[in-house]
Amino acid sequence: MDIDADRAKLWLDDLTLDRIISAVGETLTKPNRDVLRRDLLFCIGRYSIASGPGRSGFVSRQISRLNSIQKHAKKLVDLLKADDADVGIIRGVWPECPAHILPQMVILVENIDKMTGMQGKPSDIAERTNARLGTSGSALQWLTNTLLPTVYFEHFGREAGISRNLDGTLGGPYIRFAHQVLAEAGIECSDETVASALHMVKS
């Protein structure tokens, strides 16, 4: 994932990164902040794709919306062409900037026609998306039992593990790390869900 350092900081600022690193606690290795930042953004980006285009329901809604946009755009193109062929009211009142709406609508229709990736059954499209990503399980499971553990190991030199405090609640550096990353990304997920997902790949 090629993101320059300045842009990455806009998406994941220093204070946010500090909270994530602090959640892990004392470590033998000090992570490279810029690389960690980019790796975390990569994880969240992959998760966003898997939880969106990687689900047939999401794809179905997108296809339906695109079809509706295309249908209305084509109708608008026909109406604008008819207006041009008559007295050109719309073109007459349209300002010099932005460009006239007719060519824009034509381009919109053409671009939707070119979206071959959105052709086919929603389930097949979602399956192709997940195959390209290499997902396993749900998007949330994949994030918490594969993507984040990889980042955790590479930057903190530890295998992701599950441990519990004396009162039975989940704890440990990886659970704290995952908890903080998910919280900062606005992804709702309990520590028990993280532990359950991680247990799936360790059992």
Question: Is residue 124 located within the same domain as residue 157?
Answer: no
In this predicted model, what pLDDT tens digit does every residue of 56-98 receive, in sequence order?
888 899 899 999 999 999 999 999 999 999 989 999 999 888 8
Q: Tell me, what's the pLDDT at 119?
A: 79
Q: Tell me, what's the pLDDT at 1?
A: 45
Q: What percent of the chain has pLDDT over 70?
A: 96
Tell whether the model's pLDDT for residue 145 goes beyond 50.
yes
The domain boundary residue, chosen from 113, 128, 143: 128
* Average pLDDT, integer, range 114-137: 85
Question: Is residue 121 located within the same domain as residue 146?
Answer: no
Q: Tell me, what's the pLDDT at 3?
A: 58
Question: Is residue 117 located within the same domain as residue 25?
Answer: no
Q: Tell me, what's the pLDDT at 164?
A: 85
Q: Tell me, what's the pLDDT at 178?
A: 96
Confidence of residue 151 (pLDDT cuts 50, 70, 90): very high
Average pLDDT value over all residues in the chain: 89
Question: Is residue 174 located within the same domain as residue 140?
Answer: yes
* Average pLDDT, integer, range 31-45: 93
Question: Is residue 60 located within the same domain as residue 124?
Answer: yes
CA dist list (Å): 89 to 20, 72, 86 = 58, 20, 8
Q: Tell me, what's the pLDDT at 64?
A: 92
Question: Is residue 26 located within the same domain as residue 40?
Answer: yes
Question: Is residue 28 located within the same domain as residue 69?
Answer: no
Domain count, the chain: 2
* Average pLDDT, integer, range 117-143: 87
Q: Tell me, what's the pLDDT at 56?
A: 87
The domain boundary residue, chosen from 128, 161, 185: 128
DSSP string, 121-187: -HHHHHHHHHHHHT--SSHHHHIIIIIHHHHHHHHHS-----EE-TTS-EESHHHHHHHHHHHHHT-
- 115 or 39: which carries more pLDDT confidence? 39
Question: Is residue 69 located within the same domain as residue 167?
Answer: no
Q: Tell me, what's the pLDDT at 2?
A: 53
Range of the domain at 62: 56-128
Question: Is residue 144 located within the same domain as residue 89?
Answer: no
CA atoms of 163 and 87, how far apart (whole Å): 76
Question: Is residue 63 located within the same domain as residue 121?
Answer: yes
Question: Is residue 101 located within the same domain as residue 60?
Answer: yes
Q: Residue 1 carries which side chain, given as an amino acid letter?
A: M
The domain boundary residue, chosen from 128, 158, 184: 128
Q: Tell me, what's the pLDDT at 40?
A: 96
Q: Cα–Cα–Cα angle for 138, 199, 160, nearest 5°?
A: 100
Question: Is residue 150 located within the same domain as residue 123?
Answer: no
In this predicted model, what pLDDT tens digit does every residue of 166-181 receive, in sequence order?
888 888 999 999 999 9
Q: Tell me, what's the pLDDT at 149?
A: 96
Q: Is 43 helix (H, G, I), strand (E, B) or coil?
A: helix
